[in-house]
C-alpha cells in the first residue's frame, strides 16, 4: 500500500446517555438506550455516514451505584461482543471497537471472539485493550485484590503475544500456536481461521510508562487524554519515538485524544447548549466534608461541587457568595495561577468574562473546577479550527469523539463539522476500503509463524 496524504481519523465513543454528566437529561435522549440495539445501530449508522473510522464500545466489569445521578447508562450495559456483532449486521464499513480486559480474560477466548467478529464484519473488528483501573472488578472474578500496574502489564504483554500467535494459527496451512511463556502455555490452533485483517486492529489507552511502551509496540490506535496542546504534542512525540524503536513508522500508529465537541449553527446556540447541560448538574451543599466524591461517567474521584472547593483551587475564599452572582473583579485579581487557568477555560467555553457584559458567575466557577475533560464549544468553523490546529501541530492524528448527549450531538457533528473538514481537504469524503485497516492505511500483518519459519531457513 503506497504512502498516502495524512488525514484525520475519528472514532465515536458510545455511551448511551452521552458523556456529559447530564447528557441523559437532554431532550431527545433515550432512557433505555443502553439496551436498545436498534438505537445503537442508528447512532453507528450516523457515524458511518460521516465516514468515521470506528464506533467505540467501552466496557466495565463492575457496576457502581455512585453513577446513578451522573451517568446511569454506565451502571449497566450490554456485553460489548454481542453489541458489536449486531453492529456488523447493520453497517458495512465503520470499524467496531470492543473492549476486552486481559486481566480478566484468557488469550484463547479473546482470540476466538475477535477472530469471529472480524469474519462477521468482514474485517472491521478492533480490540480496545485495557488492563483495568477498576479495582472493584476483582471481587466479581473471585480475586482478593486487583493486580497492581506492573503485574497487569507483565500479564498483558504476554497476553497480546499469545493472542497474535493464535490469530496466526491458520494461513495456507494450520500452525499450532506454540506459545509457551511465563503465564500462558497454549497448544492451539485456534478454532477460527485467520481473521480477514490478519490481526484485528488494537486500540490502547494509558499514560504510564508501561502503558506507553505496550501501545508503541502493539497498538495501531492510541486513545490519549492530554489536557493541553503542549502536553499532547509531547505525548505524541514520545509515542512515535517509542514506536520507531520497534521498527514502526509514524504512520503505523494513530494517536487520537478524546474530545467533546458541542456544536450548533451559531456560537450563541452552542454556548446555550453547554449551559443547558450544566444547568442540570446538582451542586454539593456548602460545608460538606472536604475530599473527593464520585462524579462523571467513570465514577472516579473529583472535587466537591461547591464554593469551598472553588476557594481551595483559586486561592481566594469565596464561601458564602451566591452561586448565581457575578464574580467580582477583586476575586479574579487575587486568583492564583490555577485559578487564572480556570477563568480562562470558562471564557473559552462560554465567552463570558469577569466584569464583562456577560459575566462569569460563581456557578461557572464551581463547574469549571470540576471539568469534564477536553471540551470545545462553538459554531462549525470554530470546532473545525480547533481540530485542524491540533492535527497540523501534530498533537493528534484525529480524535475520539465523546458526544455530550446522544443522538443529537452525533448528528450535529456529522452534519455541521464534517463537511467543513472535508472542504479543507483533511478528512475523507469516502472510505478507501472496506476494512478498519484500510481506514488507517495499514497493511495486513505477516503471519508470525511463517516469518519465524523463513528466518530459520
How do residues 140-170 score in pLDDT, each as one tens digit? 888 888 888 899 999 899 999 999 999 999 8
Question: Which run of H or of E encompasses 303?
Answer: strand 300-303
When the pLDDT of each residue in the chain is averaged and rounded to a whole number, the result is: 91
Domain boundaries along the sequence of the chain:
9-262+379-456, 267-370
- How far is the C-alpha of 386 from the C-alpha of 379, rounded, in Å? 11
Report the pLDDT value the prediction gives residue 302, as an integer from 0 to 100. Answer: 66
- How far is the C-alpha of 244 from the C-alpha of 92, rounded, in Å? 33
Please report which confidence band the pLDDT of residue 133 belongs to, taking 50, 70 and 90 as the band edges: low
1 pLDDT more than 50? no
DSSP string for residues in 70-127: T-GGGTS---HHHHHHHHHHH-SSSEEEEEE-GGGS-HHHHHHHHHHHHHHTTS-EEE
- How far is the C-alpha of 338 from the C-alpha of 342, rounded, in Å? 6
The predicted model gives 252-275 an average pLDDT of: 98
Percent of the chain whose predicted confidence (pLDDT) is above 70? 92
Across the strands, what pairs with 54?
A: 11, 95
105 pLDDT more than 80? yes
DSSP, res 66: G
In 3D space, the residue among 178, 222, 105, 253 whose CA is nearest the CA of residue 448 turns out to be: 178
Please report which confidence band the pLDDT of residue 297 belongs to, taking 50, 70 and 90 as the band edges: very low
- How far is the C-alpha of 330 from the C-alpha of 334, rounded, in Å? 6
Report the pLDDT value the prediction gives residue 110, as an integer from 0 to 100. Answer: 97
The predicted model gives 179-205 an average pLDDT of: 91
In this structure, what C-alpha cell is assigned to residue 130? 485495557
Q: Tens digit of pLDDT for each residue in 318-364?
A: 999 999 999 999 999 999 999 999 999 999 999 999 999 999 999 99
Report the pLDDT value the prediction gives residue 453, as an integer from 0 to 100. Answer: 52
Report the pLDDT value the prediction gives residue 60, as an integer from 0 to 100. Answer: 83
Under DSSP, is residue 328 helix (H, G, I), strand (E, B) or coil? coil
Report the pLDDT value the prediction gives residue 293, as an integer from 0 to 100. Answer: 58
CA separation, residue 83 to residues 77, 108, 120, 268 (Å): 10, 20, 13, 37
Please report which confidence band the pLDDT of residue 383 belongs to, taking 50, 70 and 90 as the band edges: very high
Greater pLDDT, 77 or 431:
431
Q: Tens digit of pLDDT for each residue in 32-74?
A: 888 999 999 999 999 999 999 999 998 888 887 777 766 666 7
9-262+379-456: CATH homologous superfamily? Answer: Luciferase-like domain (3.20.20.30)
Amino acid at each position: 500500500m503506497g504512502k498516502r496524504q495524512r488525514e484525520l481519523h475519528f472514532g465515536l465513543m458510545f455511551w448511551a446517555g452521552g458523556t456529559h454528566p447530564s447528557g441523559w437529561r437532554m431532550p431527545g435522549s433515550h432512557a433505555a438506550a443502553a439496551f436498545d440495539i436498534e438505537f445503537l445501530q442508528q447512532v453507528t449508522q450516523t457515524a458511518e455516514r460521516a465516514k468515521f473510522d470506528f464506533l467505540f464500545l467501552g466496557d466495565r466489569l463492575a457496576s457502581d451505584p455512585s453513577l446513578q445521578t451522573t451517568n446511569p447508562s454506565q451502571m449497566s450495559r450490554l456485553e460489548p461482543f454481542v453489541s458489536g456483532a449486531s453492529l456488523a449486521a447493520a453497517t458495512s464499513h465503520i470499524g467496531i471497537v470492543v473492549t476486552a480486559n486481559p486481566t480478566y480474560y484468557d488469550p484463547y477466548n479473546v482470540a476466538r471472539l475477535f477472530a469471529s467478529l472480524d469474519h462477521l464484519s468482514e474485517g472491521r473488528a478492533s480490540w480496545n485493550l485495557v488492563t483495568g483501573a477498576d479495582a472493584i472488578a476483582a471481587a466479581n472474578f473471585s480475586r482478593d485484590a486487583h493486580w497492581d500496574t506492573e503485574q497487569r502489564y507483565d500479564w498483558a504483554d504476554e497476553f497480546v503475544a499469545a493472542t497474535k500467535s493464535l490469530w496466526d494459527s491458520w494461513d495456507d496451512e494450520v500452525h499450532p500456536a506454540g506459545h509457551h511463556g511465563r503465564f500462558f502455555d497454549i497448544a492451539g490452533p485456534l478454532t477460527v481461521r485467520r481473521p480477514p485483517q490478519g490481526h484485528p486492529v488494537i486500540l490502547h489507552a494509558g499514560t504510564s510508562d508501561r502503558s506507553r511502551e505496550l501501545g508503541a509496540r502493539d497498538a495501531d490506535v492510541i486513545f490519549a487524554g492530554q489536557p493541553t496542546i503542549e502536553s499532547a504534542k509531547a505525548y505524541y512525540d514520545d509515542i512515535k519515538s517509542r514506536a520507531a524503536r520497534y521498527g514502526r513508522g509514524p504512520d503505523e500508529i494513530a494517536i487520537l485524544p478524546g474530545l467533546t465537541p458541542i456544536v450548533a449553527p451559531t456560537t450563541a446556540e452552542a454556548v446555550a447548549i453547554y449551559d443547558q447541560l450544566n444547568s442540570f448538574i446538582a451542586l454539593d451543599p456548602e460545608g460538606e466534608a472536604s475530599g473527593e466524591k464520585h462524579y462523571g461517567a467513570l465514577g472516579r474521584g473529583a472535587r466537591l461541587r461547591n464554593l469551598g472547593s472553588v476557594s481551595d483551587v483559586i486561592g481566594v475564599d469565596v464561601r458564602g457568595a451566591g452561586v448565581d452572582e457575578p464574580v467580582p473583579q477583586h476575586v479574579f485579581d487575587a486568583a492564583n495561577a490555577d485559578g487564572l487557568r480556570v477563568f480562562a477555560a470558562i471564557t473559552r467555553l462560554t465567552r463570558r468574562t469577569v466584569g464583562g457584559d456577560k459575566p462569569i458567575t460563581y456557578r461557572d466557577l464551581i463547574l469549571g473546577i470540576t471539568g469534564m475533560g477536553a471540551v470545545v464549544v462553538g459554531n462549525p468553523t470554530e470546532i473545525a479550527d480547533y481540530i485542524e490546529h491540533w492535527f497540523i501541530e501534530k498533537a493528534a492524528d484525529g480524535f475520539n469523539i465523546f458526544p455530550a448527549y446522544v443522538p443529537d450531538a452525533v448528528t450535529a457533528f456529522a452534519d455541521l463539522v464534517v463537511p467543513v473538514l472535508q472542504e479543507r481537504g483533511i478528512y475523507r469524503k469516502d472510505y478507501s476500503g472496506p476494512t478498519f485497516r484500510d481506514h488507517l492505511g495499514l497493511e495486513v500483518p505477516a503471519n508470525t509463524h511463517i516469518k519465524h519459519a523463513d528466518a530459520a531457513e
